[in-house]
């Protein structure tokens, strides 16, 4: 065994030396290897990869053989063993003494060079050794070594950080101008008059067109905290990254809620959805209100969780879902309990948890506009306390440009 290990070590050393010499040559000449050199290097690499596990296996086997030889040397003379099947006792020397190494013994066993009695005697000695040297061991568990078992914290936070703004995203958006805290925008207050001329040289209808000004104040949304340098530098996952995500979530919640409030304050039309069987007619009536008042067809609808619940659970007198998530014949719309969107009479609606319970808003997308600035941060060192002040903020304003093109929806007495 030592000779085999030496031979493999020598082959490994030769392969490594040749491989390094080729690398040195190619690097020194600043060129790519030739096809012959590349082939030789691939062969050397494959040979080293082949030798590595063989060397490790041989070293481990040699270690085990040496340990076994030392263990066998401690065995008592074979005459102290109880013979099997009334065999006469062996000589006073151990039967293992006849073998120069454990490898010799393994070779003799594999080649059937041992007689049956010799094999039985070796088995007897081995069994006696195991019995005499076996004993109960003390148990060692993690409770005995708590100082070596550190606590492990999961890096994932089992929570959803959502910066969604369903209402803001459903209606139109425009970038906020860079300057100014009050926005002025035009709105039509009087339209021109057109009619048929009664006769030649008679007066035609005439009415002044009036474009009035509207204003909207720019609001500032923000929050902040003073973070210690220890928290900034010694936390994993990073507290700062998580903090900024949570501020973005809180910012979206407040901005979306204010946008809903601005729209509700300007809308003057309201309709109530009645029983589930009347949903089709009531939705059509709401759309007609928008069309009559503004001559615009509604294309957007945002509903509260409770109104979505009414849609999702609505059924006709036969129990057929009016808003199924599959495609049966003659559905009123489509909704699914695993999606925040659906459609009612062909109009896509989105669910907004920030809407007041049992309410919704239907309208033309351009009727309401959110103007949002980017989410920004400010920071300043708090040297005396080894901290850093962080503030997160954004500017926003909301324009209800066509309140006549929107209608409030309510659900009264509906229990899906």
Tokens of 213: 């000004």
Please tell me the predicted confidence (pLDDT) of residue 119. 79
Please tell me the predicted confidence (pLDDT) of residue 88. 45
What parts of the chain have a pLDDT lower than 70? 1-3, 65, 67-93, 129-137, 152-163, 276-277, 314-345, 412-416
Q: How far apart are CA 152 and CA 344, in angstroms?
A: 49
Please tell me the predicted confidence (pLDDT) of residue 263. 97
| Spatial contact of 166 and 341, defined as CB atoms under 8 Å apart | no
Tokens of 159: 């929570």
Please tell me the predicted confidence (pLDDT) of residue 289. 95
Question: What are the structural domain ranges in the chain?
Answer: 2-133, 166-411
Q: How far apart are CA 138 and CA 123, in angstroms?
A: 29
Q: CB atoms < 10 A from the CB of 258, how many?
A: 19
Please tell me the predicted confidence (pLDDT) of residue 67. 66
- On whether the 166-411 domain is CATH 3.30.2400.10, my answer is yes
Tokens of 284: 């059509």
Question: Model-level pTM greater than 0.85?
Answer: no
Please tell me the predicted confidence (pLDDT) of residue 97. 75
Q: How far apart are CA 4 and CA 12, in angstroms?
A: 12
Tokens of 96: 């293992």
Angle at CA 234, nearest 5°, toward 233 and 238? 75
Please tell me the predicted confidence (pLDDT) of residue 309. 82
Please tell me the predicted confidence (pLDDT) of residue 104. 79
Q: How far apart are CA 244 and CA 258, in angstroms?
A: 21
């Amino acid at each position: 065994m030592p000779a085999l290990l030496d031979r493999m070590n020598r082959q490994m050393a030769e392969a490594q030396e040749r491989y390094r010499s080729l690398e040195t040559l190619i690097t020194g000449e600043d060129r790519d290897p030739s096809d012959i050199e590349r082939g030789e290097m691939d062969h050397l690499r494959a040979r080293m990869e082949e030798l590595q596990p063989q060397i490790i296996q041989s070293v481990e086997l040699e270690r085990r053989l040496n340990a076994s030889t030392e263990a066998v040397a401690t065995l008592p003379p074979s005459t102290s063993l109880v013979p099997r099947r009334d065999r006469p006792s062996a000589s006073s020397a151990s039967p293992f003494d006849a073998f120069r190494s454990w490898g010799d013994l393994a070779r003799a066993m594999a080649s059937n060079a041992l007689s049956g009695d010799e094999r039985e005697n070796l088995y007897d000695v081995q069994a006696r050794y195991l019995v005499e040297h076996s004993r109960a061991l003390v148990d060692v568990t993690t409770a005995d070594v708590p100082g070596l078992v550190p606590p492990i914290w999961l890096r994932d936070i089992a929570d959803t950080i959502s910066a969604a703004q369903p209402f803001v995203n459903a209606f139109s958006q425009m970038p906020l101008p860079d300057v100014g805290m009050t926005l002025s925008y035009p709105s039509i207050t009087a339209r021109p008059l057109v009619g048929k001329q009664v006769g030649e040289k008679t007066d035609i209808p005439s009415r002044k067109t009036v474009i009035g000004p509207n204003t909207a104040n720019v609001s500032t949304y923000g929050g902040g905290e003073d973070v210690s340098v220890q928290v900034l530098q010694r936390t994993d996952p990073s507290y700062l990254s998580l903090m900024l995500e949570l501020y973005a979530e809180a910012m979206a919640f407040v901005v979306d809620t204010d946008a809903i409030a601005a729209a509700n304050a300007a809308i003057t039309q309201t309709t109530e959805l009645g029983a589930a069987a009347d949903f089709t007619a009531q939705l059509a009536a709401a759309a007609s209100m928008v069309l009559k008042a503004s001559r615009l067809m509604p294309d957007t609808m945002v509903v509260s969780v409770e109104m979505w619940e009414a849609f999702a659970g609505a059924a006709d007198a036969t129990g057929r879902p009016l808003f199924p998530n599959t495609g049966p014949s003659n559905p009123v719309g489509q909704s699914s309990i695993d999606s925040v969107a659906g459609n009612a009479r062909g109009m896509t609606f989105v669910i907004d948890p920030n809407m007041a319970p049992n309410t919704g808003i239907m309208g033309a997308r351009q009727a309401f506009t959110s103007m949002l600035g980017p989410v920004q941060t400010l920071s300043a060192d708090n040297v005396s306390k080894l901290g850093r002040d962080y503030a997160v903020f954004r500017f926003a304003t909301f324009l209800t440009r066509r309140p006549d093109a929107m209608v409030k929806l309510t659900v009264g007495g509906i229990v899906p």
